[in-house]
Amino acid sequence: MEELFVSSSFEETQEIASKLLSKIDEGTTICLYGGLAAGKTTFTQGLAKHLGINRVISPTFILMRQYEVVGHRTIKTLYHLDLYRLNSIEEIRNFDIQEIWSDESSLVVIEWPEKFAEILPKDRYEVFLKTTDDNEREIKIIHKR
């Protein structure tokens, strides 16, 4: 599956994220690609909003944030990781990422996943965010299996 969207606002980016999540029945991994200020955290906020989470903050400096999900029948935990500051696979394994990935009630959202492509799960969604204008983003979503 590959879909292409154009967003002209913060709200539209969040709505695109919500549409993606409405197609997901259980936990999975969503990898967010894009430069600084491309909209990765905004996209994550749209996912969180759909899950009943009111406030999501970028995990840039603490690397991972965990949120309890109250508004979904199968997804119980949202993990938001920012791998920008990591430099080795050992560092990401310190988060017990394999255990998190094996839990079907977890939704894992990863910013900067390209740094660790060799350990990403085969079944995942890849979201590419590209700034095309001051207020416009091109968002391509690919389901990898």
Buried b (16+ CB within 10 A) or exposed e, 80-109: bbbbeebeeeeebeebebeebbeeeebbbb
Nearest to 127 by CA among 25, 15, 11, 16: 16
Please count the helices (runs of H) and the strands (runs of E) in the chain. 4, 7
Domain ranges of the chain: 2-144
Q: Are 133 and 103 in contact (CB under 8 A)?
A: no
pLDDT given for residue 56 in this prediction: 87
Q: How would residue 125 be classed by pLDDT, with cut points 50, 70 and 90?
A: very high
- In order, the DSSP letters of 18-40 are HHHHHT--S--EEEEE--TTSSH
> pLDDT (tens digit, 9 = 90+) per residue, 13-52?
999 999 999 888 788 999 999 988 889 999 999 999 999 9
Kindly state which CATH superfamily the domain 2-144 is placed in.
P-loop containing nucleotide triphosphate hydrolases (3.40.50.300)
Query: Measured between alpha carbons, how far is 142 from 68 in angstroms, rounded to an integer?
Result: 26
> pLDDT (tens digit, 9 = 90+) per residue, 71-106?
788 999 999 998 888 878 777 777 777 788 888 899
pTM listed for this prediction: 0.92
